[in-house]
Amino acid sequence: NWTPRYNLWDQRVCACPEADFQKMIKNKKAKIVTDHIDKFTKTGIALKSGDNLDADVIITATGLKLVIAGKIQVSVDDQPVKFHELFYYKGMMFSDLPNVFSAFGYTNASWTLKVDIVARYACRLCMYMKENNYSVFKPVIPDGMATESWIDMTSSYIKRYEHLSPKQGNRYPWKLKQNYYIDWLQLKFSDLENDIEFQ
């Protein structure tokens, strides 16, 4: 039961602050089963392995659908933005999309860690624009940038969304690191004009 086909951070609960989950397992009041659902039965769940799980209540959590911009219809010069054609820039902006920040947290740490440094970077960039009398910024992807999947996870909700999601490049600032310490250093001290056009 502890050897799933996916990585720990991808599809399994990673932390339990009060250790109540572990206490339930230790006291044999709960158990973990790694398998696939074949069908629901009158008494619970039939698994593809042939085993059955008896259950009084079944809670499903497989229907998450990711969306960019909360389904807002984003357009530039009356042309709809197709996010799946864009690249992430520093994990917070998009190629050729002017004056937009997007706070997307970490998948392997506290969500707010990333959101906090994104907000600080956004303020830093806005102050730079004010000091230099700019009103528009736009990340511009370099020619010949290799394309990678936007995030390195195998969760079903990620894979279902992959064809609609922005891409990432194969090097900074177009590649997500999912590492707070690296991001903190780069967003605090990196060149603000790296692959950005200002007007």
**pLDDT, mean of each 10-residue run, the chain (199 residues):** 60 70 86 85 94 86 74 91 93 94 83 92 97 97 88 76 88 90 93 94
Give dist(CA 73, CA 106) in Å, integer: 25
With beta carbons less than 8 A apart as the criterion, state whether 170 and 148 touch.
Answer: yes
Task: Please tell me what DSSP assigns to residue 150.
Answer: S
Q: What is the pTM of this model?
A: 0.72
Q: Which pLDDT score, from 0 to 100, does residue 174 have?
A: 94
b/e burial code for range 55-85 (CB count within 10 A of at least 16 → b):
eeeeeeeeeeeeebeeeeeeeeeeeebebee
Angle subtended at Cα 121 by Cα 98 and Cα 88, rounded to the nearest 5 degrees: 50
Residue 12's φ and ψ, nearest 5 degrees, are -135, 145
Q: Which pLDDT score, from 0 to 100, does residue 194 have?
A: 92
Q: Which pLDDT score, from 0 to 100, does residue 2 have?
A: 57
Asked whether the bond before 173 is cis by omega within 30 degrees of 0, the reply is yes
Among residues 198, 195, 199, which one has the least CA distance to residue 95?
A: 195
